Chains A and B, each alone.
Chain A
Amino acid sequence: KAGVTQTPRYLIKTRGQQVTLSCSPISGHRSVSWYQQTPGQGLQFLFEYFSETQRNKGNFPGRFSGRQFSNSRSEMNVSTLELGDSALYLCASSLDVESYEQYFGPGTRLTVT
């Protein structure tokens, strides 16, 4: 079974631009969560989607948004990029909202200059 895939793997953007990251969960997994990883901060929860609905949202500004499609694939968008948005963005999928075991993708490394 294929793992979680994220595209692109690396991205360089300029401050003020917007970016869209994509995540394809493991086949059959319906829950997708997004995390931001920065040095010294660990993984910070962004949001979780299940059946195309956002179930939970972390403490991030409204510039960060996401959505989930009917095939469980998910995208996250960051508008008006700031230098502090430079991070590794990780997507994780799980079977459903009751499942504690999450499977992570390799992440998208975003650099904002």
Chain B
Amino acid sequence: DQQVKQNSPSLSVQEGRISILNCDYTNSMFDYFLWYKKYPAEGPTFLISISSIKDKNEDGRFTVFLNKSAKHLSLHIVPSQPGDSAVYFCAASEYQFYFGTGTSLTVIP
């Protein structure tokens, strides 16, 4: 049973606009959440994280929001750039990491 779900397999956004990637989880015991970016033929690269005691974390163009009551996590990328085109995975931690199935983001120049 998938404890972390990314229901949108793909997303296309115009360059300069906001990209919003979503992630839902079922386990209220998760204490840490992360987003990874993956290019073809490479391993995932850590992007940004958030502790369960916070509801927002920013790092440059990337902001992660956590809504614990809704068990929902989102990643905002503003402004989106063509180099952001990649597969994005969300992950949640309780003793081990549980990953979503990924969302393929395409930023159109």
A binds B: yes
- 9-residue interface stretch from A37-45, A64-72, A75-83: A37-45
Could you tell me the distance between the alpha carbons of A91 and B26 in the complex, rounded to whole angstroms? Answer: 26
Chain B interface size, under 10 / 10 to 19 / 20 to 34 / 35 or more:
20 to 34
Chain A residues within 8 Å of B36, by CB? 104
Chain B residues within 8 Å of A90, by CB? 43-44
| A contact face: mostly helix, strand, loop, or mixed | strand
Interface hits, B78-105 → A, CB 8 Å: 89, 91, 93, 95-102
| B contact face: mostly helix, strand, loop, or mixed | strand
Could you tell me the distance between the alpha carbons of A92 and B101 in the complex, rounded to whole angstroms? Answer: 17
Question: B42's closest neighbor in chain A, by CB?
Answer: A106
Given A42-B89, A43-B89, A106-B41, A101 contacting B101 (CB threshold 8 A): no
The interface of chain A, by Cβ under 8 A from chain B, is 4, 33, 35, 40-45, 48, 56, 58, 90, 92, 100-107
